[in-house]
Amino acid sequence: MQPDAGARLLRWSLTAAAELRRMEDLVRGFVEVCQGLGLPIRRFNLTIRTLHPLFIAENWIWRHDQPELQANRFTAAQKQTLDFRSSPIRPIIEGEARRVRYLILAEGPHAFPLFAQYAAGGMTEYLAAAISTEAELPISVSLMTDQPGGFTEAEVEALEDGFTALRAPVELYVHRSIARSVCATYIGHHTGPRVLRGDIHRGSVESLRAVVWFCDLRNFTPLTIRFGSQAIVDLLNQFFGAVGEAVDHFEGEILKFIGDAALAIFPLREGDAPDVVCGRALAAAERTLFNLAALNAAAPAGSAPLHAAIAVHVGEVSYGNIGAPTRLDFTVIGAAVNLAARLNGLAPQLHQPLLSSGEFAAMCGRPLQPLGAHPLKGIEGLVEVFGLPEDGAQRVILIEGGGAAPG
């Protein structure tokens, strides 16, 4: 090991590491610098806590005998598994210790079940440490060596300087990751990046042609009377889960949940084929109905069935920031939004799961079922209304009767 290894790792964190934006590059760069300084690392693991609706942590693992880094994400349920509870890094992740060191004996006995596997691979010592003490941003590392006798004290001291060097660039990555995750979760996958780029000024809107996609849960008021608050939350989560999966699958974006309803858009950008975009919006509606029918078919006896009313329309909308000076909403407004909302309210009266406007029906590239012209509250004149074709309605009925969802 070079005598100034720790100082050189610190300098690296202020120069080359500061330019790296991907965690994969940061992990690989750290390992390469350590190897260049003569530090005998054979396995390196960096774990961070995340703010994500599905995952609580992620890590990146480098192994000397594998060319590619291994990246993993972990759910809350995985944290409760025996593998984690008996892991040597658990005291670090849970804040019980700042550093742990274990020799890995070739013949045993082994302090942890994993050490038998590591010993078989020639590893001789395991070192783990916390590199951030912020409660909301726990960051930990673990590494191993196959050097006879394990790490020397000088090597451990240099590595601890290296952990200090890692803290700033890793925390920068974590803050960026949290910002992206929170924006995507609460604002949307397409709108979130706009906000992060600084599009947060009140009144900053653009005119956009888009499919306005409105969906709500049928018979919600009787359900709230029949079930308690937690059961209603569970029902809404199931409902919005079915809706969100379908809209995401067909590249739309949910802008907001309003009580028991979801408002989404499918933008028609320059160069987009209208029939393709409208076709995706229609497919998202059908997939939502299939998702709900499959949930109903699998639900235990006595469960409340989930049924949706969906409306689709295409037109010009104003898309951007609207609200109070310190509390903004990134949304769409305009006559097209109003028409879609009114059209959605007509669906139960016509006993249809989906209604479209004439403008949408003319663009979607599929024949829809004419349902006549109808008055809509606040809309001048009569509006031509269309529904799902007979084959689509029959497929929905098939699933509601217990058939399998189409692939």
Helix (H) or strand (E) holding 142, with range, is: strand 139-145
In order of 167, 342, 384, the CA distances from 376 in angstroms are 59, 6, 10
Tokens of 172: 């920068």
377 phi and psi, to 5 degrees? -55, 125
Q: Tokens at residue 170, please? A: 């890793």
Give the side-chain half-sphere CA count within 13 A for 310: 29
Enclosing H/E stretch for 27? helix 23-36
Pair (86, 68) in one structural domain: yes
**pLDDT above 80 for 61:** yes
pLDDT tens per residue, range 241-292 = 999 999 999 999 999 999 899 999 999 988 899 999 999 999 999 999 999 9
Name the token pair of 157: 């001291």
Same domain? For 23 and 100 the reply is: yes
Q: Taking the model in full, what pTM does it have? A: 0.73
- Which structure tokens are listed for 227? 């079930």
Q: State how far the Cα of 12 lies from the Cα of 33, in Å rounded to an integer.
A: 8
Establish if 407 belongs to a structural domain.
Answer: no
Residue 405 lies in a domain: no
- Split at pLDDT 50, 70, 90, the class of 346 is very high
- What is the DSSP secondary-structure string of 283-310? HHHHHHHHHHHHHHHHSPTTPPP--EEE
Shared-domain flag, residues 204 and 229: yes
The reply to whether 102 and 18 lie within a common domain is yes
Q: Do residue 216 and residue 341 come from a single domain?
A: yes
**pLDDT confidence of residue 37:** 86
Q: Report which DSSP code applies to 17.
A: G
pLDDT of the residue at 404: 39
- What is the per-residue pLDDT for 216? 93
Half-sphere exposure of 374 (CA within 13 A, CB side): 21
Residue 390: predicted pLDDT: 67
Q: Are residues 30 and 138 in the same domain?
A: yes
CATH of the domain at 153: 3.30.450.80
Asked if 404 contacts 298 with a C-beta cutoff of 8 angstroms, the reply is no
Is position 337 within any domain? yes
The answer as to whether 110 is a domain residue is yes
Strand order in the sheet with 125-132: 70-74, 57-63, 43-49, 139-145, 125-132, 99-103
Q: Does residue 50 share a domain with residue 29?
A: yes
Count of structural domains, the chain? 2
41 and 178: one domain?
Answer: yes
Looking at residue 82, its pLDDT comes to 60
* Cα-Cα-Cα-Cα dihedral sign, residues 223, 227, 229, 232: negative
- CA 10 → CA 4, 18, 91, 145, distances in Å? 10, 11, 26, 21
214 with 243, same domain?
Answer: yes
* Residue span of the structural domain in which 79 resides: 5-186
pLDDT-derived band of residue 393, with 50, 70 and 90 as boundaries? very low
Q: How far apart are CA 163 and CA 266, in angstroms?
A: 46
Is residue 172 located within the same domain as residue 211? no
Three-state DSSP string of 272-287 = CCHHHHHHHHHHHHHH
Tens of pLDDT, residue by residue over 28-58, are: 888 988 888 899 999 999 998 887 878 888 8
Around 404, how many Cα atoms within 13 Å sit in the side-chain half-sphere? 2
Residues 241, 150 within the same domain: no
Query: What is the Cα–Cα distance from 172 to 334, expressed in whole angstroms?
Result: 40
